[in-house]
Structure 1
């Protein structure tokens, strides 16, 4: 039986991949258009290819369709966002207040992401000294989903301004699952060359070498 050869990714593919990385956006403005049938399943299958500690696949996705549960998540965000605004320094408060930090009202698809802290799958490999790697693995699944969504012309917004204590109750899921993030998914309302937080003057991306240490 001949050996299996890994695919070779040529310069054209590498260039497109670089464009995908650069056009990955934290989207807050969505069109109301629903996702085509089957596309969400395709994206979740891509997310399932993400690396995970001990091949444990600890991520758990919850598709939130119920209007009452969405409303509870929206109320959770409103409260948490008001609290976050109150902690901002005076010179940042006005900027923070005008930022659109969630697409909860527009995005047609809502996904809550959790990590199973102690999954049977994987037999505990790699978690004895760093149990938090299950959460890291779930974050990797989100990033994989994010890139797959962008490749299909979709935008994704990660809503992190939420109080995680009530999320399990709101969504009726196991209380021991660790909440990772709430995702808004859909077609972006606009295409912008510059990420929104940069356009709004909140922060600017810095060179990669500024975060590299040599020892």
Structure 2
């Protein structure tokens, strides 16, 4: 007989394990193997994104599926332009950065641009003092899509190296809208066994204990709160 979950509303243990597996094995992918994503599967992924939490239930996410090859090439060009500018801004790490693969726009089966819509200022609930909650809500939708994609065996990468104004012009977006992500999505040969930037020695995951406080800023939390890295 399988072990039962401790909490009455908990998922079964295999279901819990699947959720945590998707979380821990999700990767920001940059290497794609072409292929296709079926319409049914893409619809499931977008539905998962659309069921994300949002502040004031404002649902501030819009998805543009970029299928036209010339538009993809335009996206690629915008990202490459910003990649050079980012490298220059990094100073002594410029050469190191330029060796990194930062996008898969031309290789991925699908490219989705996630944007905030115009008229967001009308949503006051939860945003009066924190207007950036529209972006936070859209990020939740992206994470939902990311985890669902991993569960379905697809890779996804979030590209944020671009000029929002130029990208909005390229995709004929209305005034007041703002693109926040270029998502590369599709089959991959393999998932990275660790985050790519960690494997490339760009950065490493910080200890959880350094991130969790108790009651006051910088007061260490109880040890049991940070037992698992």
Whether these two folds match at TM > 0.5 is yes
> Which residue does the alignment assign to 1:28?
30
SS in 2 for 1:181: strand
> Which residue does the alignment assign to 2:65?
63
Higher relative contact order (CA 8 A, sep 6+): 1
| Unmatched 5+ stretches in structure 1 | 1-5
> Which residue does the alignment assign to 1:179?
179
5 Å-filtered alignment, 1:135-150, equals 135-150=135-150
* Gap change, CA 1:84 and 1:120, over 3 Å in 2: closer
**Which structure 1 residue ranges, 4+ long, deviate > 6 Å from structure 2?**
none
Give me the TM-score of the superposition, normalised by structure 1. Answer: 0.90
Instruction: Work out the number of aligned pairs and report it.
Output: 208
Q: Offset at 1:184?
A: 0.5
* Alignment of 1:18 onto 2:16: no
SS in 1 for 2:39: coil
Alpha-carbon distance between aligned partners in 2 of 1:89 and 1:120, rounded to the nearest angstrom = 37
| Unmatched 5+ stretches in structure 2 | 1-7, 217-229
- 1:120-177 per-residue CA deviation (whole Å, 9 max, x = no partner) reads 99x5322222222111111110011111111100111111111111111100121211
Alpha-carbon distance between aligned partners in 2 of 1:161 and 1:64, rounded to the nearest angstrom = 17
2:43 to 41, 49, 53: 41
Alpha-carbon distance between aligned partners in 2 of 1:159 and 1:58, rounded to the nearest angstrom = 19
Alpha-carbon distance between aligned partners in 1 of 2:76 and 2:33, rounded to the nearest angstrom = 18
SS in 1 for 2:206: coil
